[in-house]
Structure 1
Amino acid sequence: MSASGGELSSAMPENIDDSSARSVLAEGLLELFKPCVEEIDDKVSAVRQSQVDLRQQIDSLAEDLRKVSDAQQVPVELEPYVKKLNNARRRVMLVNNIIQNAQERLGKLQQNISKETSRRKTLLQESPTGSLSK
């Protein structure tokens, strides 16, 4: 059993300490999360665009209903529908604001991941234990 332990310790560089192992682990985690954050950011952007499109469609439909209501000889009670559309528009705008805030937070998270990754790479390149070829 001690022979296999000796083989293991000789296979690993003696100058790697816990902090460099943590740095490598942290860098790996950052690289793991970065694509996920970018994908979520892309999806949030797509949802925001669809929210904008939906709001425009609601505005257009509300305007069309107003025109129809104004053009009718016999008054058609469209006011409840216009109110419903306005309520839907308001909810869409609220959701859009929530999504926009989430996207801003994702952007900040993505920037922090990039900064931390760069910082870790710089630290690993500068440290004498950062290179395994020595």
Structure 2
Amino acid sequence: MRRVVVTGMAGITSLGDTWAAIDAAMAAGRSGVRRMPEWDAIADLQTRLGAPVVELMAQAIAAFVGLEAQRKGRPPKIGYLLGTRAYRCTRADFAPGSRIGIKADLVFRDDSGLGAFDCTLHHDGRQIAEATLKVYETPDHD
């Protein structure tokens, strides 16, 4: 089994939107996973867990696409998360340092760059979250 390490310099994340904020939060061991109390008013919502779980799934997709490009001898392309569908989660939070398994199965991809992945998260041998993520990969710029 090969390990994939997802890295980056900055972004808009659950830990912050500048490299300094993200770096400080990670150094402090802060988790981006959190309860979303504003969702309590939504009666039919099955979770109160915020979007950071979707972020983990999106990073797994980015790792897959990056490795795929590397195997073809190409640089990685820019990709975008367009949205999610059928999101379900059974946990409100995770302890810092928890081992979370992430699986992303390619369901659909066409020549325009649109794609879909069925994603799951696992903790302690149990599935704890699932969603279908819709993504877009920019065209080649040779």
Q: TM-score range by the shorter chain?
A: under 0.3
Which has the larger share of strand?
A: 2
Structure showing greater radius of gyration is 1
With structure 2 as the length reference, what TM-score do the two structures score? 0.24
- Structure number with greater CO (CA < 8 Å, separation at least 6) is 1
Which has the larger share of helix?
A: 1
With structure 1 as the length reference, what TM-score do the two structures score? 0.25
